[in-house]
Structure 1
C-alpha cells in the first residue's frame, strides 16, 4: 500500500514520534500550523472513523486524550479535528486526528468561522434531517 501514514506506522518513513501504543501513534505534523501541531493515527489502515474496529477506535481516542493533556504544556487549549473523507478536506486517506495547540492570539477562530455559506433551517427541515440520520420514514 502506498499510504504515507502506514509507512510512518511501520517505520519505513521516519517521524517525530511523541507517543505510541500497540495500536496508535502520535507524532509532530511535518507541515505544522502552529508549534506542537500533532497527528494521531491508528497503525492499521482505515479511510474513515466509522471503518475502524472498536479496539482501534478506543485506543486512538485514548491516545488523543493523553496527547491533548501533554500539548497543553505548550499552549492553554487544543483544537481537535478530524477530516473524515475527501469532501471534508481529508488529504491523506488514512484516519488521522489533528491536535493543534491554541491560544487567544493565534489568529484562528472557532469552527463556525470556517463556513461562510451556513444554512437557515426551519423546524421541518431539522425533523427531516433527524429522520434521514435515524433511517426513519
Structure 2
C-alpha cells in the first residue's frame, strides 16, 4: 500500500534488520525497543490491523507461527516471551499495518493478573 511504513520496509525501500522472513511474513527489529528483544512480525500482505487480518485465518496463523520462530531464534523461547497486537487509538497504534510485537529477554512487567 502506498505510503505505508511497513510496506516500504517489506519492499526494501526502508532499511530494517531482518530476523526472519518467508513468503508470507517479514520479521525485523523494532527501532524503538520496549524490551531487550523486540521484534515486529508483519504479514507481507497489507491489512490495517489484527481485526482485518483475522479475516484471513491462515495468514494470521502464519504471523503467530513466525512469532514462535522468532522467539526460538532470539533465544527467548524457553525463558518466556510476550506477543502483542495494538489495535485502535487507546492501544497507541502508530502504524496502520497489522503487526505482532515479540518481546522478551528480560523480566517483563506483570500484565493480565
Query: Same fold per TM (> 0.5)?
Result: yes
Residues 79, 102 of structure 1: 8 Å contact kept: no
Q: CA deviation at 1:43?
A: 0.9
Answer with 1 or 2: which has the greater Rg: 1
Could you tell me how far apart the structure 2 residues matched to 1:96 and 1:85 are?
13
**Structure with the larger RCO, 1 or 2 (CA within 8 Å, 6+ apart):** 2
Structure 2, gaps ≥5 residues long: none
Q: CA deviation at 1:79?
A: 1.6
Could you tell me how far apart the structure 1 residues matched to 2:76 and 2:49 are?
30
Residue 21 of structure 2 corresponds to residue 20 of structure 1:
yes
Equivalent position of 2:109 in the other structure? 109
Query: TM-score, normalized by length of structure 1?
Result: 0.70
Greater fraction helix: 1
Query: TM-score, normalized by length of structure 2?
Result: 0.84
CA RMSD of the aligned region, Å? Answer: 2.1
Structure 1, gaps ≥5 residues long: 114-137
Residue 88 of structure 2 corresponds to residue 85 of structure 1:
yes
